[in-house]
Amino acid sequence: AQSVTQLGSHVSVSEGALVLLRCNYSSSVPPYLFWYVQYPNQGLQLLLKYTTGATLVKGINGFEAEFKKSETSFHLTKPSAHMSDAAEYFCAVSEGQGGKLIFGQGTELSVKP
């Protein structure tokens, strides 16, 4: 069965600092991997996704993630945090094309001035 583990329910960084949000997955077949962001009282929107091909994926708002099969990881990074990045971030996995999405527990990112 698929599963996703996000390490750290809360992460706090200073504005301008590196953002690193960790995600590890379990899947019996090559996975499709996603990062979503949720701003307060809103739905989820896609930051980036990995399906096939290049393992370093760039998304919106300066975020990127690298798929590492050997480590079963898909960590999200941003070189320089901005106050507007404060939100909750969810990692998700699906097993192949059209598979159901399974989410991690979420990581709340706080950005200090």
Partner 1 sequence: NAGVTQTPKFRVLKTGQSMTLLCAQDMNHEYMYWYRQDPGMGLRLIHYSVGEGTTAKGEVPDGYNVSRLKKQNFLLGLESAAPSQTSVYFCASSYSIDRGLRNTEAFFGQGTRLTVV
Q: Which of 86, 95, 101, 110 binds partner 1 (CB under 8 A)?
A: 101
Whole-number Å distance between alpha carbons of 61 and 20? 14
For partner 1, give the closer residue by CB, 18 or 46.
Answer: 46
Does residue 105 interact with partner 1 by CB under 8 A? Answer: yes
Find the DSSP H helices in the chain. none
Q: Which of 37, 102, 109, 111 binds partner 1 (CB under 8 A)?
A: 102
Binding part of the chain for partner 1, among 20-28, 40-48, 66-74, 75-83 by CB under 8 A, reads 40-48
Is the Cα dihedral 21, 6, 93, 41 positive or negative? negative
Q: Which of 7, 17, 49, 95 binds partner 1 (CB under 8 A)?
A: 49
Q: Which two tokens stand for residue 107?
A: 């990581």
Instruction: Give the interface size with partner 1 as a residue count (CB under 8 A).
Output: 25
Whole-number Å distance between alpha carbons of 16 and 91? 23
For partner 1, give the closer residue by CB, 73 or 94.
Answer: 94
> What strands, in cross-sheet order, belong to the sheet with 3-7?
3-7, 19-26, 73-78, 64-68, 56-58
Q: Which residue has the tokens 């094309």?
A: 97
Interface residues toward partner 1, by CB under 8 A: 6, 9, 32, 34, 36, 42-46, 49, 51-52, 90, 92, 94, 97-98, 100-106
